[in-house]
């Protein structure tokens, strides 16, 4: 599945000019939905999750490079996460991280959030749960009630990407100052040319930082 085509400094490997002005281009492609059998313990985990939630709440299942990703609608996230934690034959006790991604070209699905889970009970099994939200309605249910360790991870994802985690006990910035405008890891955030608020420095626009002539 082709997700994006990027030019210049954003991942191009051909040639030496990575300034963004050399016409370099690279395609970003992600794997599509996988078909059964998924292999290993993946089939059993998917079936167990469906049994625990009373139905199939998965939008799609992706197996890529030995990793399992479950794509879930945001409104179903709390139910899926509780089942993954509490069901004895699943028992993903730990949420290791919450990661935001911004795909501005995906209309209606611009914001992605990935949750990385670990099962100690079952010998270190790992899986990823992914949900999406549109820019126009950037709300996703918080999982802090189920995984308290996700508290600061959700705050960072709000700070950097602007995802609003409904039900979070204190959704405030964690890296940037409280009055900072915008979310710096979004792809529509200005790339240079804005004042730096520390020690009175400034950052010049990218085309003024170096010359390839």
73 lies in the same domain as 61: yes
Among 62, 55, 43, CA closest to 3: 62
150 lies in the same domain as 162: yes
Angle 133-115-63 from CA coordinates, rounded to 5°: 95
The whole domain housing 113 covers 33-208
Could you give the number of structural domains in the chain? 2
* Per-residue model confidence as pLDDT tens digits over 77-101: 999 999 999 999 999 999 999 999 9
**pLDDT top residue among 57 and 22:** 57
14 lies in the same domain as 58: no
* Per-residue model confidence as pLDDT tens digits over 125-140: 999 999 999 999 999 9
Check whether 168 has a pLDDT greater than 50: yes
Angle 131-104-75 from CA coordinates, rounded to 5°: 20
124 lies in the same domain as 195: yes
Beta partners for 67? Answer: 64
198 lies in the same domain as 114: yes
* Per-residue model confidence as pLDDT tens digits over 27-75: 777 888 999 999 999 999 999 999 999 988 999 999 999 999 999 999 9
113: how many CB neighbours lie within 10 A of its CB? 24
| Highest mean pLDDT, choosing among 105-109, 190-194, 204-208 | 105-109
């Amino acid at each position: 599945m082709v997700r994006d085509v990027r030019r210049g400094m954003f991942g191009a490997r051909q040639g030496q000019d990575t300034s963004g002005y050399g016409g370099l281009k690279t395609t970003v492609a992600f794997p599509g939905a996988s078909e059964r059998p998924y292999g290993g313990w993946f089939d059993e985990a998917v079936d167990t999750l469906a049994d625990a939630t009373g139905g199939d709440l998965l939008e799609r299942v992706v197996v890529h490079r030995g990793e399992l990703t479950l794509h879930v609608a945001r409104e179903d996230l709390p139910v899926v996460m509780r089942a993954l934690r509490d069901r004895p034959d699943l028992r993903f006790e730990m949420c290791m991280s919450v990661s935001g991604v911004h795909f501005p070209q995906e209309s209606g699905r611009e914001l992605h959030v990935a949750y990385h889970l670990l099962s100690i009970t079952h010998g270190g099994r790992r899986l990823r749960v992914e949900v999406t939200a549109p820019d126009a309605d950037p709300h996703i249910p918080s999982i802090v009630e189920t995984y308290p360790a996700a508290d600061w991870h959700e705050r960072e994802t709000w700070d950097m990407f602007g995802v609003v985690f409904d039900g979070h006990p204190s959704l405030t910035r964690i890296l940037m100052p409280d009055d900072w405008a915008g979310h710096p890891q979004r792809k529509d955030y200005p790339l240079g040319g804005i004042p730096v608020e520390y020690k009175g420095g400034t950052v010049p626009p990218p085309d003024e930082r170096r010359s390839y002539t």
